[in-house]
Amino acid sequence: MKKWCQLLLLSMTFVSMYCNAQSSEKPSTNPSMTCPASLNFKFPRLQDEQMQDLCQYKGKVVLIVNTASYCGFTSQYEGLESIYSKYASKGFVVLGFPSNDFGQQEPGTNKEIADFCKNTYDVKFPMIAKTVVSGPNANPLFKLLIEKTKTSPKWNFYKYLIDREGNVVNAYSSMTKPDSKTITSEIEKLLSGNK
């Protein structure tokens, strides 16, 4: 009987050790398992057309903007870069999507667009290769943004805001400057965890 009790105690110890080891394992880092639908896309990067997985921005507050180099709103690059540099360390990112959809105001190649952004506005926030953001041929991310907000880009520099959980929380017209109180107060609220 004593031997049987010792075996039972020993087996319980092993079970306990196994359970503790299992619980201390790191959770899966597979992006497809943890990435929100709003960021579960891959696009070529503007500068070198290397594929970029947007899941790398999960857990961040994200402002998505369709851009153009020859538009009356092109100076908004300054405001975008300003808020990116101000809030990046707190978990914020701007993602730029150059598009020729509106007024054919982004006619250049990816290299020409990248050079313009760097040389004219010293853009450091991530930029995606030239793409379609409206109509039936819109890229899948913009189709999702349009579906979630019930509003499609009306012109260049239309903006969509995504919270840390990947929820699409707002859309802003081209008229709303990226560094306006309207947008920055919402970014600050989302960064602090308030909704």
pLDDT at 10 over 70: no
**Residue recorded with tokens 């507050």:** 61
Q: Which tokens belong to 59?
A: 């857990």
15 burial type by CB count under 10 A (0-12 exposed, 13-18 middle, 19+ buried): exposed
Say whether 55 is catalytic.
Answer: no
- Average the pLDDT over each of 2-11, 90-99, 135-144 and give the range with the smallest value: 2-11
Q: Which of 19, 35, 55, 71 is catalytic?
A: 71
The mean pLDDT of 67-91, rounded to a whole number, is: 98
In tens, the pLDDT along 39-55 reads 999 999 999 999 999 99
Read off the DSSP letter of residue 55.
G
The mean pLDDT of 32-40, rounded to a whole number, is: 86
Q: Domains of the chain: which residue ranges?
A: 33-191
Banded pLDDT at 193 (limits 50, 70, 90) = confident
pTM of the model: 0.82
Q: Cα–Cα distance between 11 and 8 in angstroms, integer?
A: 5
CATH topology for 33-191 is Glutaredoxin (3.40.30)
Q: Cα–Cα distance between 91 and 164 in angstroms, integer?
A: 9
In tens, the pLDDT along 135-172 reads 999 999 999 999 999 999 999 999 999 999 999 999 99
42 in Cβ contact with 65 (< 8 Å): no
